Chains A and B, each alone.
Chain A
């Protein structure tokens, strides 16, 4: 592991200046922000295309979200993959084939650590170092200002040829505002503060939200808590982890490959759910207000089972909080000791001026292929994706595209112009054949096959002349 002071000694002395402060020139090196799954594959693929890479990671280890030791890690003790192994592993570095279909989060961490060691990525990473500012400099370069995580120590600015932002988007809690929340006497936490079932034991628990987090926590509360209410503001399609004895995503993709029209695929999926899960309104769940694929898939075989056993009571959306209770929109009052807001996460790029990523007033960036901003050819975002599959294969190819793009800019400016024009024209386009529900959680929702087909065209177009 490298430390901040090693870096100071090995670097060239400052020859550039910005606002009266020294700037260390890192030449053609590319800066990568974050050493989670996205940052690691960015370093590896940039190296493969011959770039130098400096990665800054605010934590002391690799793995990002999958490293449960990290204070911002959103995983809880019982987290297992929801996307099955072959759809989740990097396409050029498989997980061990004797691992289960849905590995545990600790296996994911050891996989990412093995990836970092195997490809010798750690010497590129400055751990315990936080990026605080990323500012454009002359000649499409970037000044990146860092300091030790936690804010102590001096700031230091280095100039890079390009920046790949891989800071993750599942760490900054989305906290809804509720009337009366201040006066509520029970405990309220966001799901990111939920670590294991001891927090639930013996309590009356209200879980809000039915993303995969909310469903997992509701199931655990169903087993461990004295009482569990699960509040959702709409009906959903709860897919099982297995269908016909195979991981459900693999069954889905076997059909998806035939380029069937969306409606046919939706019909098939509805039939599959009808056969395997059945009619959910029988269980007291609201009828979905949308077709399947129009919300981020929930994959949970236990939830419906627990409702059927009476250990989870499904309830509608929260209307307001009171001193000792919570009022739901149907007028019902429940009296939880603990409320877990599993309401998801919002993206945050605290080190960048919002206009760089074309961020609108709602906070949503406008990027081409969720990666390339307008007017800033040497900046890209990796992993800002919410796929209906595993993330790693997609972010792998996304970072290959970024590396090819940076090479092509140098080697074939003519071809690069055509790509720039498309980034300008198509930034913000969605890559999903279904019309997803309007919600912040769907800003980065992609259909993995739709997206990868688009990425394939980009990869071919950006192919670097040898």
Chain B
């Protein structure tokens, strides 16, 4: 697909501003590494990265930030938000950072990042357990969690349960606690996850890394391979982990792999 330069929608219906929650961890001794911007998936807020990944990245000298998409976490309400508004949130925060940022999207946040990459030349893109949507995703979700998924089909909230999100290695209490803190994306955005135009091509030719788990119960292995294939790569796999890799018991392994890749490739 070609990059289109006549962008009437961008010009004539700008996304309205909103208060955006940004959590950050800064390295003690900055070494000039690029800032990271973590983008949570639907229902998740910036807090999911503030649990472990932000501090860990900062301890490895990466300035680390996480944004809550509008309507999520501590950001302002946005019951009618679209995928475009979410991508706008990501680009706004990225452009406000002092240096060109690496965008890291998780779950449906990876799709948001893919859209943001078409509007901001990121230093690199990282897609973690990407949910690129489509009817297959719905099928898998219905099979695993019909009670939590069915209402979403009729505009209600998509409720992911802790067994979909975490491996059994994470103590049950922690898993239930995390799951209880989840919110929801707007109904429009939920629908767009099923039916949306493919993201426009990334600008600035950033290197891309895709990672996930073969045991993810939200993203079937085939969907993971397909998402990685869009970027001409094979996914980096972390067997045994659940979908929410940044909260799961072995959260350290994927973030270290991401930071190693950035240290090596940038």
Does A associate with B in a complex? Answer: yes
In this complex, which of B2, B15, B88, B121 has the most chain A Cβ atoms within 10 angstroms of its Cβ?
B121
Distance of B201 from chain A, by nearest CB (Å): 11
Q: Establish whether residues A86 and B14, one from each chain, have CB atoms under 8 Å apart when the complex forms.
A: yes
Q: Establish whether residues B204 and A97, one from each chain, have CB atoms under 8 Å apart when the complex forms.
A: no
In this complex, which of B10, B14, B203 has the most chain A Cβ atoms within 10 angstroms of its Cβ?
B14
Please give, as numbers and ranges, the residues of chain B lying within 8 Å of A120 by CB-CB distance: 99-100
Does residue A449 face the partner (Cβ distance < 8 Å to B)?
A: yes
- Report B105-142 residues with CB < 8 Å from chain A CB: 119-121
| A-B pair number, CB within 8 angstroms | 76
Please give, as numbers and ranges, the residues of chain A lying within 8 Å of B3 by CB-CB distance: 459
| A456–B6 alpha-carbon span in the complex (Å) | 8
| A449–B88 alpha-carbon span in the complex (Å) | 23
Q: Establish whether residues B205 and A48, one from each chain, have CB atoms under 8 Å apart when the complex forms.
A: yes
| A389–B7 alpha-carbon span in the complex (Å) | 13
| A393–B5 alpha-carbon span in the complex (Å) | 9
Q: A48-B204, A97-B14 are in contact. Are A118 and B97 (CB under 8 A)?
A: yes
| A436–B85 alpha-carbon span in the complex (Å) | 38
Does residue A29 face the partner (Cβ distance < 8 Å to B)?
A: no
Q: Establish whether residues B6 and A91, one from each chain, have CB atoms under 8 Å apart when the complex forms.
A: no
Q: Establish whether residues B205 and A94, one from each chain, have CB atoms under 8 Å apart when the complex forms.
A: no
A-contact bits for B77-110, CB 8 A (1 contact / 0 none): 0000000000010011001111110000000000
Can you give 7 contacting A-B residue pairs, CB < 8 Å? A91-B5, A92-B203, A97-B15, A97-B88, A251-B12, A257-B12, A393-B5
Please give, as numbers and ranges, the residues of chain A lying within 8 Å of B95 by CB-CB distance: 93-94, 96, 114, 118
Please give, as numbers and ranges, the residues of chain B lying within 8 Å of A256 by CB-CB distance: 8
B-contact bits for A254-297, CB 8 A (1 contact / 0 none): 10110000000000000000000000000000000000000000
| A119–B204 alpha-carbon span in the complex (Å) | 12
Does residue A140 face the partner (Cβ distance < 8 Å to B)?
A: no
Pick from B13, B17, B203: contact of A98, CB under 8 Å? B17
Does residue A85 face the partner (Cβ distance < 8 Å to B)?
A: yes
Does residue A360 face the partner (Cβ distance < 8 Å to B)?
A: no
Does residue B197 face the partner (Cβ distance < 8 Å to A)?
A: no
- Report A354-408 residues with CB < 8 Å from chain B CB: 389, 393, 397
Q: Establish whether residues A91 and B7, one from each chain, have CB atoms under 8 Å apart when the complex forms.
A: yes
Please give, as numbers and ranges, the residues of chain A lying within 8 Å of B12 by CB-CB distance: 86, 250-251, 253-254, 257
Q: Establish whether residues B5 and A48, one from each chain, have CB atoms under 8 Å apart when the complex forms.
A: no
Please give, as numbers and ranges, the residues of chain B lying within 8 Å of A48 by CB-CB distance: 121, 204-205
Q: Establish whether residues A94 and B5, one from each chain, have CB atoms under 8 Å apart when the complex forms.
A: no
Does residue B4 face the partner (Cβ distance < 8 Å to A)?
A: yes
Does residue B154 face the partner (Cβ distance < 8 Å to A)?
A: no
Please give, as numbers and ranges, the residues of chain A lying within 8 Å of B121 by CB-CB distance: 48, 92
Q: Establish whether residues A117 and B4, one from each chain, have CB atoms under 8 Å apart when the complex forms.
A: no
Interface residues on B, range: 20 to 34
Distance of B22 from chain A, by nearest CB (Å): 13
| A452–B10 alpha-carbon span in the complex (Å) | 15
Q: Establish whether residues B119 and A91, one from each chain, have CB atoms under 8 Å apart when the complex forms.
A: yes
Q: Establish whether residues B99 and A118, one from each chain, have CB atoms under 8 Å apart when the complex forms.
A: yes
Which 5 A/B pairs are nearest by Cβ-Cβ distance?
A: A257-B8, A97-B17, A254-B12, A98-B17, A250-B12
Does residue B16 face the partner (Cβ distance < 8 Å to A)?
A: yes
Nearest chain B residue, comparing its CB with the CB of A390: B11
Distance of B206 from chain A, by nearest CB (Å): 10
Q: A92-B203, A97-B88 are in contact. Are A397 and B99 (CB under 8 A)?
A: no
Distance of B36 from chain A, by nearest CB (Å): 15
Distance of A114 from chain B, by nearest CB (Å): 8
Please give, as numbers and ranges, the residues of chain B lying within 8 Å of A459 by CB-CB distance: 2-3, 5
Pick from B6, B15, B100: contact of A118, CB under 8 Å? B100
| A118–B135 alpha-carbon span in the complex (Å) | 39
Nearest chain B residue, comparing its CB with the CB of A246: B12
Please give, as numbers and ranges, the residues of chain A lying within 8 Å of B11 by CB-CB distance: 86-87, 250, 253, 389
| A91–B95 alpha-carbon span in the complex (Å) | 12
| A172–B17 alpha-carbon span in the complex (Å) | 39
Does residue A188 face the partner (Cβ distance < 8 Å to B)?
A: no
Q: Establish whether residues B4 and A91, one from each chain, have CB atoms under 8 Å apart when the complex forms.
A: no
| A29–B140 alpha-carbon span in the complex (Å) | 52
Distance of B126 from chain A, by nearest CB (Å): 19
Nearest chain A residue, comparing its CB with the CB of B121: A92
Q: Establish whether residues A96 and B99, one from each chain, have CB atoms under 8 Å apart when the complex forms.
A: no
Nearest chain A residue, comparing its CB with the CB of B9: A257
Does residue A460 face the partner (Cβ distance < 8 Å to B)?
A: yes
Pick from B5, B100, B203: contact of A455, CB under 8 Å? B5
Nearest chain A residue, comparing its CB with the CB of B20: A97
| A114–B92 alpha-carbon span in the complex (Å) | 13
In this complex, which of B7, B17, B99 has the most chain A Cβ atoms within 10 angstroms of its Cβ?
B7
| A94–B92 alpha-carbon span in the complex (Å) | 7
Q: A48-B121, A86-B11, A97-B15 are in contact. Are A452 and B100 (CB under 8 A)?
A: no
Does residue A185 face the partner (Cβ distance < 8 Å to B)?
A: no
Distance of A136 from chain B, by nearest CB (Å): 31
Pick from A96, A98, A397: contact of B5, CB under 8 Å? A397
| A386–B198 alpha-carbon span in the complex (Å) | 34
Does residue A453 face the partner (Cβ distance < 8 Å to B)?
A: yes
| A254–B11 alpha-carbon span in the complex (Å) | 8
Please give, as numbers and ranges, the residues of chain B lying within 8 Å of A92 by CB-CB distance: 119-121, 203-204
Please give, as numbers and ranges, the residues of chain B lying within 8 Å of A114 by CB-CB distance: 95
Please give, as numbers and ranges, the residues of chain B lying within 8 Å of A250 by CB-CB distance: 11-13
| A456–B204 alpha-carbon span in the complex (Å) | 17
Q: Establish whether residues A96 and B92, one from each chain, have CB atoms under 8 Å apart when the complex forms.
A: yes
Please give, as numbers and ranges, the residues of chain A lying within 8 Å of B14 by CB-CB distance: 85-86, 97
A-contact bits for B1-42, CB 8 A (1 contact / 0 none): 011111110111111110000000000000000000000000
Q: Establish whether residues B99 and A117, one from each chain, have CB atoms under 8 Å apart when the complex forms.
A: yes
Please give, as numbers and ranges, the residues of chain A lying within 8 Å of B4 by CB-CB distance: 456
| A437–B99 alpha-carbon span in the complex (Å) | 44
Please give, as numbers and ranges, the residues of chain B lying within 8 Å of A456 by CB-CB distance: 2, 4-6
| A94–B17 alpha-carbon span in the complex (Å) | 12
| A231–B10 alpha-carbon span in the complex (Å) | 38
Q: A48-B204, A93-B95 are in contact. Are A452 and B15 (CB under 8 A)?
A: no
Please give, as numbers and ranges, the residues of chain B lying within 8 Å of A397 by CB-CB distance: 5
| A327–B6 alpha-carbon span in the complex (Å) | 48
| A86–B100 alpha-carbon span in the complex (Å) | 21
